[in-house]
Amino acid sequence: MSNVSMKEIVNLCQNRWFVFQGSEIYGWLANAWDYGPYGSLLKENIKNLWIKEFVQKRDDMMLQDAAILMNSQVWVASGHVWGFSDPLIDDKNTKERFRADKLLEELISEMWDKASTLQDKYWVSNLVPESWSLEKQTEVMRWESVKNPNTWESWDWTDAKKFNLMFKTHQWVTDDTGAEIFLRPETAQGIFVNFANILRSSRRKIPFGVAQVGKAFRNEITPGNFIFRTREFEQMEIEYFCEPGKDLETHAQWKQACREFLLDTLKIKEENLRFRDHEADELSHYSNATTDIEYMFPFGWWELWGIADRTDFDLKAHMKESKQDLSYFDPVNNKKYIPYVIEPSVGLTRLFLVTLIDSYTIEQKWEETRNYLKLDPKIAPIKVWVLPVVKKISDIAKPIFKQLAEDFVCEYDDVWSVGKRYARFDEIGTPFCVTIDSENYDAWKVTVRYRDSMEQELIEISKLNEFIRVRLK
């Protein structure tokens, strides 16, 4: 488990230009976050690696980018207009609003801690408030005297009611409901509605998949934990179409692919991850299998990535609503069917948070405490920091910066002592520093310093780019 607290992560993000509070000079907008210079680069690197692993390196995947604003009928067909809601409950005393199922989950986790026998623990772990009716959630909240988590005082709960998470807006110049549209709450539907287009234009044979990265919007009742749950966020989603009956084996393959991406590509620590298969009573009515990859955040185990076998539910729903044929003709077996789909869906901004937490390292070295981000060099926002030991040798240092910047994202810094600068670059997770001094420069050499070991090596300037390129692989 990571020992870092959320406070340390938030401080790092705000002090080191990763994430800022949105609209800060106007007193902020609650739960809106802006990604600063290093945050944008880190997020972009994670996204590009995801595209590389899941699209570029596979011959069965394609990338698309659908519009955020879609015809409202899309959300009627997908079930979001009527069904995309969370159970909202108000404390009449304080007028605060909460998600009833989340308060009940906290209660259940306390019950699990207190359960003394294996049998009791098993019984508690099978309680899934998310699947309970609103009446049952209200009844249990009252029966168990669940407290307001902010005040820990007496409560007076309203009945739990459905709260739709869709953000509404208006298209065209009038405010009438005919022009009402939604900001998409997920990117996935953009893939389903393009299924026929993709099939026609790409002439792909099933199985194949389509990937998409983009913004999604949900009017969350209880956003929070920094960028963990926000109202505006980015998703990276895949819809992988397969033959009915082959869905369970395809689901297992995607579980493995996502696991490899987290462990081998992003180098997330294995002990901080767990794969939780949904039990029958937690599964959506249309799903044959769903797995949540959960991460051990400083505030507990929470979902990072969902991998759902959604059968033919979405394509069928869009066929019914749009009256278009979204079936597939299999030329080999000469049969027509509606494909099943496996959907691995992860929040880019949530994965960004995971990489920060997971790489945050506090180390005792030479009686000093060192904090740094042990990010995999592939995702580090700045790959090389170029620093002349003294400001006045910029005439020899600047050309070296230019040479490196041809190939890598670099920064140049000649302020403060070298030691102070190293500490700052380490905190941002920069894997290499290139230090230039006149003496070594006369021998056409510079010093490369490694972030993790803090060791240093003299390298010929003509071989510098290749030296770093090899180590970034």
Counting beta carbons within 10 angstroms of the beta carbon of residue 184, is it exposed (0 to 12), middle (13 to 18) or buried (19 or more)? Answer: buried
Q: Is 229 in the site for ligand GAP (CB under 6 A)?
A: yes
| 177 phi and psi angles, rounded to 5 deg | -70, -20
Quote the DSSP letter at residue 52.
Answer: I
Residue 62 beta carbon to ligand GAP: minimum distance, rounded to whole angstroms:
18
Which residue in 146, 188, 211, 389 binds ligand GAP (CB under 6 A)? 188
Tokens matching residue 32: 């809106």
Angle at 22 between CA 17 and CA 86, to 5 degrees: 120
The region of 95-103, 265-273, 299-307, 444-452 touching ligand GAP under the rule CB under 6 A is 299-307
Quote the DSSP letter at residue 416.
Answer: S
**Residue (31 or 158) nearer to ligand GAP, CB:** 31
Which residue in 129, 339, 344, 347 binds ligand GAP (CB under 6 A)? 347
Q: Is 345 in the site for ligand GAP (CB under 6 A)?
A: yes
Quote the DSSP letter at residue 377.
Answer: T
Residue 239 beta carbon to ligand GAP: minimum distance, rounded to whole angstroms:
9
Q: Is 87 in the site for ligand GAP (CB under 6 A)?
A: no
**Residue (195 or 305) nearer to ligand GAP, CB:** 305
Q: Is 305 in the site for ligand GAP (CB under 6 A)?
A: yes
CA-to-CA dists, residue 371 to 17, 333, 363, 364, angstroms? 16, 59, 6, 9
Residue 307 and residue 251 in contact, taking contact as beta carbons nearer than 8 Å: yes
Which residue in 349, 361, 430, 435 binds ligand GAP (CB under 6 A)? 349
Residue 285's SS3 state is coil
Q: Is 72 in the site for ligand GAP (CB under 6 A)?
A: no
DSSP E strands in 348-409: the ranges are 360-365, 368-373, 384-388
> Residues 123-152 vs ligand GAP: string with x where CB under 6 A?
------------------------------
**Residue (55 or 165) nearer to ligand GAP, CB:** 165
The candidate with the shortest Cα–Cα distance to 101, out of 113, 90, 89, is 89
Distance of CA 311 to the CA centre of its chain: 24
Residue 230 beta carbon to ligand GAP: minimum distance, rounded to whole angstroms:
5
Q: Is 235 in the site for ligand GAP (CB under 6 A)?
A: yes
Residue 79 beta carbon to ligand GAP: minimum distance, rounded to whole angstroms:
12
Q: Round to whole Å and give the CA distance between 238 and 348.
A: 13
Q: Is 303 in the site for ligand GAP (CB under 6 A)?
A: yes
Tell me how crowded residue 21 is: count the other CB atoms within 10 A of its CB: 16
Q: Is 346 in the site for ligand GAP (CB under 6 A)?
A: yes
Residue 3 beta carbon to ligand GAP: minimum distance, rounded to whole angstroms:
23
Residue 12 beta carbon to ligand GAP: minimum distance, rounded to whole angstroms:
19
The candidate with the shortest Cα–Cα distance to 383, out of 413, 362, 405, is 405
Please report, as residue ranges, which positions from 153 to 172 form the binding site for ligand GAP (by CB under 6 A): none
**Residue (224 or 399) nearer to ligand GAP, CB:** 224
> Residues 189-228 vs ligand GAP: string with x where CB under 6 A?
-----------------------------x-x--------
Residue 300 and residue 110 in contact, taking contact as beta carbons nearer than 8 Å: no
Residue 195 and residue 324 in contact, taking contact as beta carbons nearer than 8 Å: no
Q: Round to whole Å and give the CA distance between 199 and 204.
A: 6
220-242 burial: b if 16+ Cβ within 10 Å, else e: bbbbebbbbbbbbbbbbbbbbbb
Q: Between β-strands 232-242 and 208-217, what pairing exists: parallel, antiparallel or unpaired?
A: antiparallel
Residue 381 beta carbon to ligand GAP: minimum distance, rounded to whole angstroms:
20
Q: Is 304 in the site for ligand GAP (CB under 6 A)?
A: yes
Residue 350 beta carbon to ligand GAP: minimum distance, rounded to whole angstroms:
4
Residue 394 and residue 308 in contact, taking contact as beta carbons nearer than 8 Å: no
Q: Is 186 in the site for ligand GAP (CB under 6 A)?
A: yes
| 465 phi and psi angles, rounded to 5 deg | -60, -45
> What residue is closest to ligand GAP based on CB?
347
Count of positions on this chain that bind ligand GAP (CB under 6 A): 19
Which residue in 38, 98, 233, 261 binds ligand GAP (CB under 6 A)? 233
**Residue (243 or 303) nearer to ligand GAP, CB:** 303
Residue 229 beta carbon to ligand GAP: minimum distance, rounded to whole angstroms:
4
Asked, as a colleague might, if the bond just before 207 is cis with ω within 30 of 0, I would say yes
Which residue in 53, 237, 411, 437 binds ligand GAP (CB under 6 A)? 237
Contact set with ligand GAP (CB under 6 A): 186, 188, 218, 220, 229-230, 233, 235, 237, 303-306, 343, 345-347, 349-350
